[in-house]
């Protein structure tokens, strides 16, 4: 009969512990072997279905295999991986949440929602088709991404480089609550279809999200005292909604080819180098309310006759007031016009100072 010394027993125990730790660190590998539902044992090698929350495990979907994600999947450990070289799709509303871990592969992912959080290592270079994409991290993307409904930029920067792209389906919305999107060498953003942008939260400097030819509506719901600062000229083919905060033109021009809605806390600040042009088909719902000491070069109004655009606040026009048609209604406004007034429209208001120009007041 053999006897084991305490030293040998300690060595055996240590080896066993190391093997156990190794198993915990790397987890199991689940490889799809046939197209089918995620929850089906027939889809996976050995008939073992992966868990829906991965902390140490690896899921591999090889080329030529399509897995239907019929339940939500969460990747939440630094060692966990989802490798998609085939297709990961859904026939319902299933979603993918990346809390920690690696998303890689060159296949296709088509899901309802994808959340990419700060612990995500994003090495995926395939195609993503998603209704809602939420980015809460700084990521460099080489993937080709199409967003049907909402692109949420919550924090960090979504950097599109080396073939990485984002395109929006018609009437999609970009919601910015703390993040940004940038385009680097080899990257692209297709913003040519009708889309809207919503800013929610603290102060922002506008980026490429306001430069697309398809830009329709701009909604600003900022915290009190916060500012959205333009970095280029902006043309809206829809509505400007000033729900809160200040829109600073920063020497850029603003063209609104639609309605204006506003609250008492939603305002505009401008300088003498900026123009504002309003082209609408009916009276504006709300007012353009200017912060104190706001200035403009030219203000151009073009509405159908008998329809009115409203402005409030303090404004100095260093250039011209061009009333092509319609009514400019000045409510609680103090306006100084240093240039000319031209066009067939009408000005109605109080506290209007001009040079030698006759203005019709109510």
In a domain, 40, yes or no: no
In a domain, 130, yes or no: yes
Residue 89: exposure state from Cβ atoms within 10 A (0-12, 13-18, ≥19): middle
Q: Could you report the per-residue pLDDT of 195-205, keeping only the tens digit for each?
A: 999 999 999 99
The pLDDT value given to residue 5: 52
In a domain, 311, yes or no: yes
**Strands 260-262 and 165-168, bridge-based pairing:** unpaired
Residues in a beta bridge with 183: 160
The residues near 193 (Cβ < 8 Å, ≥ 6 apart) are 167, 168, 169, 170, 171, 172, 214
Domain count for the chain: 1
CB atoms within 10 A of CB 41: 11
The pLDDT value given to residue 352: 59
The pLDDT value given to residue 7: 43
In a domain, 324, yes or no: yes
Q: Which residue has the tokens 């609250």?
A: 263
In a domain, 1, yes or no: no
The residue ranges of the chain whose pLDDT is under 70 are 1-26, 350-362
The pLDDT value given to residue 332: 86
The pLDDT value given to residue 12: 39
In a domain, 34, yes or no: no
In a domain, 298, yes or no: yes
Q: What is the pTM of this model?
A: 0.89
Find out whether 187 and 163 touch, Cβ atoms under 8 Å: yes
232 lies in which domain range? 53-353
Distance, CA of 224 to CA of 271 (rounded, Å): 21
Q: What are phi and psi for residue 20, nearest 5 degrees?
A: -65, -45
In a domain, 119, yes or no: yes
Q: Could you report the per-residue pLDDT of 278-331, keeping only the tens digit for each?
A: 999 999 999 999 999 999 999 999 999 999 999 999 999 999 999 999 999 988
Distance, CA of 313 to CA of 303 (rounded, Å): 21
Q: Which of 120, 196, 130 is nearest to 166 (CA)?
A: 130
């Amino acid at each position: 009969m053999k006897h084991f010394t305490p030293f040998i027993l300690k060595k055996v125990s240590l080896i066993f512990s190391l093997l156990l730790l190794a198993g915990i660190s790397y987890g199991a590998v689940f490889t799809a072997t046939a197209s089918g539902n995620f929850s089906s044992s027939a889809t996976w090698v050995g008939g073992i279905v992966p868990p829906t929350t991965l902390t140490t495990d690896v899921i591999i979907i090889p080329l030529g295999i399509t897995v239907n994600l019929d339940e939500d999947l969460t990747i939440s450990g630094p060692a966990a991986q989802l490798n998609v070289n085939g297709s990961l799709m859904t026939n319902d509303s299933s979603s993918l949440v990346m809390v920690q871990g690696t998303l890689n592969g060159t296949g296709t992912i088509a899901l309802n929602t994808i959340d990419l959080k700060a612990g995500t290592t994003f090495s995926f270079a395939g195609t993503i088709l998603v209704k809602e994409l939420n980015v809460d991290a700084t990521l460099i993307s080489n993937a080709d991404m199409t967003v049907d409904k909402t692109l949420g930029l919550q924090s960090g920067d979504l950097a599109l480089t080396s073939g990485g792209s984002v395109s929006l389906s018609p009437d999609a919305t970009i919601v910015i609550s703390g993040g940004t999107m940038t385009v680097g060498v080899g990257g692209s953003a297709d913003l040519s279809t009708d889309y809207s942008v919503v800013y929610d939260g603290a102060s922002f400097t506008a980026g490429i999200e306001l430069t697309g030819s398809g830009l329709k509506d701009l909604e600003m719901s900022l915290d009190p005292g916060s500012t959205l600062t333009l970095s280029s000229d902006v043309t809206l083919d829809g509505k400007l909604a000033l729900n809160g905060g200040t829109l600073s033109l920063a020497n850029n021009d603003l063209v609104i080819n639609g309605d204006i809605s506003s609250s008492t806390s939603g305002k505009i600040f401008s300088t003498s180098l900026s123009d504002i042009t309003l082209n609408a088909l009916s009276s504006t719902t709300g007012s353009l309310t200017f912060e104190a000491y706001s200035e403009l070069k030219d203000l151009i109004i073009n509405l159908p006759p008998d329809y009115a655009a409203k402005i409030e606040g303090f404004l100095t026009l260093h250039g011209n007031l061009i009333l092509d048609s319609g009514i400019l209604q000045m409510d609680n406004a103090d306006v100084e016009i240093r240039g000319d007034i031209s066009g067939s429209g009408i000005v109605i208001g109080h506290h209007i100072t001009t040079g030698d120009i006759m203005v019709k007041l109510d």
